[in-house]
Structure 1
Amino acid sequence: MITTVSIIWALINFITFFVFAHDKSQAKRRGRRVPERTLFLLAAVGGSVGAIVAMRVLRHKTKHLTFVIGMPAILVIQVALVSWYLI
């Protein structure tokens, strides 16, 4: 069970990272962008680590206060929920 959950968690984080990378690429090319709502949804369903890593590595959405505060806040809430569940 733990292994399955870990694999799913890693997968959603990889997907989130690559969606951020795609959005960054589209921003550079002035192409069709990924809605911010989608980026937050991916973080909320477990991809907050991938989102934060993408923001740091790709320097994407780092000037948007909602992302700079929102992504770590989502991570803190997720860690708190998992901790509460495991206790």
Structure 2
Amino acid sequence: MELLISLYLLVVNILLFSWMGIDKQRAKEHAWRISERRLWITAIIGGAMGGWLGMQAFRHKTKHTAFVIGFPCLVVMHVLLILYLL
């Protein structure tokens, strides 16, 4: 079970990290964007660390206070939840 949860978290974090890079590139090209709603939902369901790392790596959404504060808070909440469940 722990392996399955770890695999899930790995996949969802890689997904959100990738989406942050893709969305940044699309923003530069004035192309169709990934919705903030999709980014938030993915962060809430476990991808917050990947989203936060993507923000740092791609310098994306760093002027949006909700993302700058929200993603790290979600990371802390996810870590606390994992520690509680273990």
Q: TM-score range by the shorter chain?
A: over 0.9
In the alignment, structure 2 segments of 5+ residues that lack a partner are: none
Q: Figure out how many residues of one structure are paired with residues of the other and give that number.
A: 86
Q: Give the secondary structure class of the aligned counterpart of 1:62.
A: coil
Distance across 1 between alignment mates of 2:64 and 2:57: 16
RMSD: 0.9
Structure 2 residue 28 is the aligned partner of structure 1 residue 40: no
In the alignment, structure 1 segments of 5+ residues that lack a partner are: none
Any idea what the Cα deviations from partners look like across 1:43-66, whole Å, max 9, x if unmatched? Answer: 111101100110001000011101
TM-score (norm 1): 0.92
Any idea what the Cα deviations from partners look like across 1:58-80, whole Å, max 9, x if unmatched? Answer: 00001110100000011111112
